[in-house]
Structure 1
Amino acid sequence: MSKKWSMLLIIPLILTGSSAGAAEEEKDEIIEEIISEVPQSIFYESNQFTQAIEDEEMTEQAPQEEIGEPYELMAENDRLALYVDPKTVAIKTLNKNTGYVWSSGLDNIEEYRLNNTWQQFVQSAVTIDYVDQRGNGKTESILTNGSQPMVTPTNNGFKAFIVFIGSNIEVTLEVDLTEEGLNFRIPKENVDEGKRNLLTSLRLYPFLGASFQTGQEGYMMIPDGSGALIRYGEKSQFADAPLSATVYGRDLSVANSSNQMNQYLSLPLYGVVHGSHQNGLLSIINSGEHYAEITAYTPGVSTDFYWVSPEFHYRYNYFQPTSRDKSGVNVYQQDRNAFDIDLQVHVLENEKANYTGMAKTYQEKLLEEGQLVDREDQYKVRLEYLGSETKPGLLWNSVLPVTTVDQVREHVDELKADGLDDLLLVYRGWTKGGFTNTLPARFPVEKKIGGEDELVELHDDLEAEGIPFYLYNDFTTAYKGAGGYEGSKDVARQANSQLVMWGKTKNYNEMYFLKPEISKAHAEAAADEFSTRGLNHMAVDFTSYMLYSDFEDGKERTREDAEETYRELFEGLGEKTAALAAYMPNPYAWSGTHHYLSIPMYSSNYMMVTDTIPFLQIVLKGLMPYYSNYVNVQVNEQQDLLRMAEYGVYPSYFITGESPAILADTPSYDIFTSQFSVWKEDILSKNSRLVEVLKQVENETIEQHEMVSPGVAAVTYSNGKTIIVNYTTETFEDENVQVDSMDFTIVDQWKGA
């Protein structure tokens, strides 16, 4: 272990292990001495930042051998050529512009440390997992039992009919060559399980884009949080397990499945780069993403390769209670999840063969398909208010007014007097009974914050001043004992027939999750209620990112069904409101969303991740304004300020009129600092810095994100302006610009370092 890491680990030992008689000032001196010895670069060289790559680390692509037997040419266009091995259905794709060949298998496989099972997995186009009649889980690849695929040429590629001999499961794979790259499809009707076994999951071309441990410079890209890279090299080889994550998060209806992961992906894609600005692949799951788990491996985790692949789950394993004492057994779903697999692979080259190019490719696709709409991107500071909160009592609950309508008005006036009128306000806890334990009911308005007339008047006054005033809504959660829903009839059910819910806590009642169609009905009713009162700004939480199945007997609804319902919900609200705001919305909600609230600015810090990147921000910037999580609950405000400048994120604060101390015995007991009088100066000071640069790139897209040196980022926009962010403790200077330590600036027509 390096000296700098060892010294950091010593600090908690000093804090907990010092003798009782040691003076506090002695501890402080020891800690300061240790910290002074630790290079500051340790922080911005961690995986929570994007890493700089020196030119000498760039490698030329290895010369590709001519494609020969057993591969046969199946399709060709001006840019690409597709070849297949009829025995394994492995493919090779030649990029004619660069001369690079992408392979799904390995040449001379006997030269690598792979046992028979792994060789079969690597070389086979498809590998399945299934459960036999005795309940045993098994894995089978095309080569496992000598299957003989039937490969048939088509206009743009081929079809492969595969019979897995061991399981008697049949799959027909369709592969097309396009101008963009490749398209892999397995329609649900192309899967036949037979009568003996149950198909549980399927992997498709898992080693396409894989790289050997001593291969070229490059990385894998995962849409974890804001985005993450796993670079090829030593930094990523300390992991002892793969990084696994579900697209759109775990399905709560099978939440206890052994297949479920602790990571969450908000985008259905992943990518690989072999030589930055040389060759890359971006794989987008167009269908089947609701059941997809994306897994990334590094050398030392099963093989000596870097590889990333989706696994599509046809059945999940879940816990089925068998008695009242909560004992039970784990079983697989009896009915197979019915979905089409459609995986679109973009072959990238030159300036697009990097994570910025991947993000721009995905952005272009969404715009073309209408899933992403060009909204007005104006810089604003988001203030999210807590109006009132429920306070549990011995016999009955009471309501605590935390921020009244009049206080909100006073705060706005104070900020405007100090020159800040670029505001966006969100008001939660406006419903009678307080914020918690009252959903899904909405009206009437809680009288202790001012009542309905005052709330509507404030909304109208602020709108006239150009300040949108959003009322917080959630159409997904329903508290036990609250009004507005019909008990278990409106609640989604798990695969084991139990209700989808979260259990009761110290201050929360049980929270149930409504069926998607019930959520849609609530949203439509809310839009009507808002309209009759002249209210036209709505902020939607939970519904925008929670996606789960409903296993009610005879009325089953899949995650795919739920997505379509939510898509309609958000498009409808988008049409009926002036500008809809949503918390962490998944892409299917983007077409109806005008403001993205609480966008992630970091990755999950998984061990094998080497970099955090603004992938999500590059996709959205200039097309939809997005806002940070609350500044006043963050650990490192200065670092987050720099991150907002780098990622183009607008600041947010959680605000109350009263001291949060009054919330100690309420469900909002975890709010420690929020009073406006305490945070006013911080709001003004951070705004004065950010507005200087972010105002100049409103409605502009990010065209390039790069690290010009360790800890110094350069972000270039479509209008030619570049924001330079310096995370280091030393001034960054070159012939083009000078940026003080822990600071940022904006320049015109920056030429680069």
Structure 2
Amino acid sequence: MKRRVVSYPTIAKASIISLLLIMIGWILWQIWGFDGNDQAVEVSATEQFSGYSGPLYKAVLPSEEAFQTMAENNQLKLTADRSTGHFQIIDKLTGDIWRSYPNPEHWQKETATGTWKNHLLSPILIEYVNASNYKSASVTAGLVENGGYLEEFQLKGDGFKVTFAFPKAQFKIPIEVTLHEDYVETKLMDDGIIEGELSLLNVKLYPLFGAEPSQGQEGYIMLPDGSGSLIHFDQNRIMPQLTYNESVYGPDQSYYSENTNRQRIAMPVFGMKSGEQAFLAIVSEGEYYANIYAAPGGSVGSSNWVTTEWQYRKRFFQSVSRSTGEGFYTYSGEAFEAASRSARYYPLTGDKSNYAGMAEKYRDYLMSEKGIEPLQTAAGQDIPLFLDIVGADAEKGLLFDSYLKVTTTDEATKLVNDIHALGISNMQVQYSGWQQEGYSSHGDYFPVDRRIGGNSGMRSFIEFAHSLNIPVYLTANYTRNTDGNGGFWWRRDGLRNLAGTVLEEQERGEEQKIRFVSPEYYEKEVYSDLADFKELGADGIYFENGIGEQVNTDFNTRYMADRSEVVEIQKNIFKQTKETLGSVIGSNSNFYLLDQSDHVHLLSSDYSYDVFVSESIPFAQIVLHGLRSYTLEWSNTRDEWQSGFLQNMEYGAYPSYILSGTNAENTRQSYSLWQYSLKYDNWTEHINSEYQKLNEALKEVQNRFITGHRTLASGVKETVYEGGYRILVNYNDKPYDSQDVYIPAQDFIVEKSGDSI
């Protein structure tokens, strides 16, 4: 290759040309603020706010006359006030109005004062912190206190968009509000958010939407707490300062989360009823980084309100010494990334303005937008009985764990045959504790432990069950590892928090250490085992207490996955399992798995018992009935037998038992089964009695939607199905006797369409 020789004249020409290009670029930058490649030059946060001389946000309610129509359709009208950014939804048929700000009729009686009174007028509330100083406290701000203003309010055909500016904190947050056929959607535009030196922690967008005070009307906040719960409006609330704030899909263990012992949020929804109108909100996009925040009347102002709190950063514990455990709490650096953060508000009126109407709207959403198809049940088919059979468990020994054989595959065959002989032909079996070392052992699942029958014994049992048309699912939990088998090495493959620590938990005190597995690792493990499940003839996998229930960010550098990616991993696992084996189910799963899951096992039927919560409701069950089968807790582990049975009846749930062969006494000192009464021949009479009663009541309505649910009197509940079919339950020790109906104490009655009681 010839070496190029550059003469001095050539260098001089190149220098002159370069100098001219630099001068042209400098002139263009001075004029337009662009470089030579037409790319916007980064402008500091301070410069973003300099030069603004327009009006600042004022601490006043928006004028009702200032609202202009932004969009409308046959059902709804969206109006907005350009000076405040607030909006209204108007039902064109009834004239009902839902406001994004406090009801002007009651504002003069507002009890909040000072800063918080101003916050209640703001269309947006933010919380931020100086993340460079771990001792810095977070600050909550609205537009008023921050010298804020609105920027670039624009119509967009189906709504409007605007940017909220916080000059003191140096944040700009663009949002959109759009009208759709039967809802209005509010959206945060993450790609347009501007931050200065401070770090954004969370945002509440239009937090006072639909807010109403307690006085003068009946109403409640509906929370997705467990199966669902209500906070009734109450002017004389005990401990009024308390609020509710929980993560959608449960806390992220890779960050700090206060141990509240609350039920996990499995549904990204909330709602409120006030008088004769209500709304349902669905967190439709970005829900992995959303909390549900509720403020009962008197806690934060006199109004009752509930909203989405969008998370951008969270606290975590930064350890500085492994030996002493010393460290400090600080915040994550980069903000959580979401493609979009959207909440939909569905206005409800008339006989739909209650929690049953909210559940119906959410069910419609799942069918129309998530592809959930209704159940197809043959007419007259008996309801299914769900049996969890436990193979074995382990007991802590002096030097080594002891293996406790509970149900061999031969005993499982006899168990199923004996129950089938009772006349119960429609059953489904989940076989747990079949893996090496039993129920409490997680890691290398195959082969089936030879002490309960091995692969050949399990294969024979499944073939027998299939001869009776009974499907068999094998229970597994891939999110934990206890034995290190299967190639798992906790230092390499463990789930790590933001501080780099492998997450673990103790079972039964300090007796057993369980390490959490990186989601990408357990995804590979499931896929590699699917052929073994198929070879045994399993109809599917029952993923218990892990996949579908826990969404933890993984900071293991080999597998890095944020919450949204973990959800996608879990969806893919369910999808691949169903495609390979034919079916898949989960325990109390988050609702993002409904499109693949064929059954929800042990669905939550309770709430968290916060002092401000009035009652538990079967919101999840109203949503699911007719879409997916579900069970509540195992019947033979109930604290109160009859009340639990009546709840199954009220909630439209199928019966479920956890059973074993004749060796159940051995489990009293086991890691996981010590609290259960498992021996199946002690339960056959109860199983038959409960099943026959539930089958008689629920057989006819298996594929019907629940259309109504209400409290008739204290301890008396009514569940209504399509076609007017009613089940009425009396939990009280005395009969319920009204002009229309008589229900014996601790009992139920069924009223079919056209019947008279």
Q: CA deviation at 1:362?
A: 0.7
Q: Tell me the residue number matched to 1:341.
A: 341
Instruction: Determine the C-alpha separation between the residues in 2 that align with 1:344 and 1:327.
Output: 44
Q: Residue 89 of structure 1 aligns to a residue in which SS?
A: coil
> Which has the higher mean CA deviation after the structures are superposed, 577-586 or 326-335?
577-586
Q: Tell me the residue number matched to 2:170.
A: 168
Alignment of 1:460-499 (within 5 A): 460-499=463-502
- Aligned pair partner of 1:562 in 555, 561, 566: 566
Alignment of 1:553-592 (within 5 A): 553=557, 556-592=560-596
Q: Tell me the residue number matched to 1:189.
A: 191
Instruction: Determine the C-alpha separation between the residues in 2 that align with 1:470 and 1:690.
Output: 23
1:364 pairs with 2:364: yes
- Aligned pair partner of 1:451 in 429, 451, 454: 454
Q: CA deviation at 1:694?
A: 1.3
Is the CA contact 1:158–1:175 (under 8 Å) kept in the aligned structure 2?
yes
Q: CA deviation at 1:420?
A: 2.1
Instruction: Determine the C-alpha separation between the residues in 2 that align with 1:751 and 1:707.
Output: 21
1:214 pairs with 2:210: no
Is the CA contact 2:126–2:140 (under 8 Å) kept in the aligned structure 1?
yes
Alignment of 1:247-266 (within 5 A): 247-254=248-255, 256-257=256-257, 262-266=262-266
Per-residue CA deviations over 1:711-734 (Å, capped at 9, x if unaligned) read: 332222224422222223343456
> Which has the higher mean CA deviation after the structures are superposed, 234-243 or 279-288?
234-243
Q: Residue 127 of structure 2 aligns to a residue in which SS?
A: strand
Q: Tell me the residue number matched to 2:46.
A: none
Q: Tell me the residue number matched to 1:323.
A: 321
Per-residue CA deviations over 1:608-634 (Å, capped at 9, x if unaligned) read: 111211110011101211012112221
Q: Residue 149 of structure 1 aligns to a residue in which SS?
A: strand
The 3 A distance-change label for structure 1 pair 338 and 367 is same
Is the CA contact 1:253–1:493 (under 8 Å) kept in the aligned structure 2?
yes
Alignment of 1:588-627 (within 5 A): 588-627=592-631
Give the residue type in structure 1 aligned to 2:659: I
Q: CA deviation at 1:456?
A: 0.7
Q: Residue 713 of structure 1 aligns to a residue in which SS?
A: strand
> Which has the higher mean CA deviation after the structures are superposed, 229-238 or 333-342?
229-238
Q: Residue 538 of structure 1 aligns to a residue in which SS?
A: strand
1:88 pairs with 2:99: no
Q: Residue 86 of structure 1 aligns to a residue in which SS?
A: coil
Q: Tell me the residue number matched to 1:232.
A: 233
Q: CA deviation at 1:266?
A: 0.7
Unaligned 5+ runs, structure 1: 1-64
The 3 A distance-change label for structure 1 pair 158 and 637 is same
> Which has the higher mean CA deviation after the structures are superposed, 418-427 or 658-667?
658-667
Q: CA deviation at 1:73?
A: 2.9
Per-residue CA deviations over 1:334-389 (Å, capped at 9, x if unaligned) read: 11111221111111121221111111111111111235233446622222121111
Give the residue type in structure 2 aligned to 1:366: L
Q: Tell me the residue number matched to 2:652.
A: 648
Q: CA deviation at 1:234?
A: 5.0
Q: CA deviation at 1:451?
A: 1.9
Instruction: Determine the C-alpha separation between the residues in 2 that align with 1:683 and 1:126.
Output: 54
Instruction: Determine the C-alpha separation between the residues in 2 that align with 1:436 and 1:220.
Output: 40
- Aligned pair partner of 2:675 in 671, 676, 689: 671
Instruction: Determine the C-alpha separation between the residues in 2 that align with 1:553 and 1:444.
Output: 31
Q: Residue 119 of structure 1 aligns to a residue in which SS?
A: helix
Q: Residue 65 of structure 2 aligns to a residue in which SS?
A: coil
Per-residue CA deviations over 1:141-193 (Å, capped at 9, x if unaligned) read: 11223322021111111111122111111110111122212111112202121
1:75 pairs with 2:79: no
Is the CA contact 1:351–1:357 (under 8 Å) kept in the aligned structure 2?
yes
Give the residue type in structure 2 aligned to 1:163: A
Instruction: Determine the C-alpha separation between the residues in 2 that align with 1:136 and 1:317.
Output: 12
1:268 pairs with 2:268: yes
Alignment of 1:42-81 (within 5 A): 68-81=64-77
Give the residue type in structure 2 aligned to 1:327: E
Instruction: Determine the C-alpha separation between the residues in 2 that align with 1:337 and 1:711.
Output: 45
How many residues align? The count is 684
The 3 A distance-change label for structure 1 pair 147 and 735 is closer
Q: Tell me the residue number matched to 1:202.
A: 203
Q: Tell me the residue number matched to 2:295.
A: 297
Instruction: Determine the C-alpha separation between the residues in 2 that align with 1:411 and 1:534.
Output: 19
Q: Residue 310 of structure 1 aligns to a residue in which SS?
A: strand
Higher relative contact order (CA 8 A, sep 6+): 1
Give the residue type in structure 2 aligned to 1:83: T
Give the residue type in structure 1 aligned to 2:67: Y
Per-residue CA deviations over 1:299-319 (Å, capped at 9, x if unaligned) read: 332322211112111000111
Q: CA deviation at 1:736?
A: 6.1
Instruction: Determine the C-alpha separation between the residues in 2 that align with 1:607 and 1:219.
Output: 15
Is the CA contact 2:433–2:439 (under 8 Å) kept in the aligned structure 1?
yes
Instruction: Determine the C-alpha separation between the residues in 2 that align with 1:580 and 1:345.
Output: 32
The 3 A distance-change label for structure 1 pair 563 and 577 is same
The 3 A distance-change label for structure 1 pair 647 and 290 is same
The 3 A distance-change label for structure 1 pair 232 and 153 is same
Per-residue CA deviations over 1:663-690 (Å, capped at 9, x if unaligned) read: 2332135324221122221111111211
Q: CA deviation at 1:238?
A: 4.7
Give the residue type in structure 2 aligned to 1:85: D
The 3 A distance-change label for structure 1 pair 235 and 386 is farther
> Which has the higher mean CA deviation after the structures are superposed, 654-663 or 217-226?
654-663
Q: CA deviation at 1:750?
A: 5.4
Q: CA deviation at 1:606?
A: 1.6
Q: CA deviation at 1:243?
A: 2.1
Q: CA deviation at 1:555?
A: 5.3
Is the CA contact 2:478–2:522 (under 8 Å) kept in the aligned structure 1?
yes
Is the CA contact 1:697–1:719 (under 8 Å) kept in the aligned structure 2?
no
The 3 A distance-change label for structure 1 pair 371 and 117 is farther
Q: CA deviation at 1:752?
A: 9.2
Is the CA contact 1:298–1:307 (under 8 Å) kept in the aligned structure 2?
yes
Instruction: Determine the C-alpha separation between the residues in 1 that align with 2:439 and 2:558.
Output: 35
Q: CA deviation at 1:659?
A: 4.7
1:97 pairs with 2:93: yes
Instruction: Determine the C-alpha separation between the residues in 2 that align with 1:465 and 1:226.
Output: 34
Is the CA contact 1:270–1:284 (under 8 Å) kept in the aligned structure 2?
yes
The normalised TM-score by structure 1 is 0.86
Is the CA contact 2:435–2:445 (under 8 Å) kept in the aligned structure 1?
yes
Q: Tell me the residue number matched to 2:420.
A: 416
Instruction: Determine the C-alpha separation between the residues in 2 that align with 1:665 and 1:363.
Output: 44
Is the CA contact 1:389–1:433 (under 8 Å) kept in the aligned structure 2?
yes
Instruction: Determine the C-alpha separation between the residues in 2 that align with 1:555 and 1:540.
Output: 21
Give the residue type in structure 2 aligned to 1:536: D
Give the residue type in structure 2 aligned to 1:157: G
Instruction: Determine the C-alpha separation between the residues in 2 that align with 1:211 and 1:686.
Output: 44
Is the CA contact 2:710–2:718 (under 8 Å) kept in the aligned structure 1?
yes
Q: Residue 629 of structure 2 aligns to a residue in which SS?
A: coil
Is the CA contact 2:543–2:586 (under 8 Å) kept in the aligned structure 1?
yes
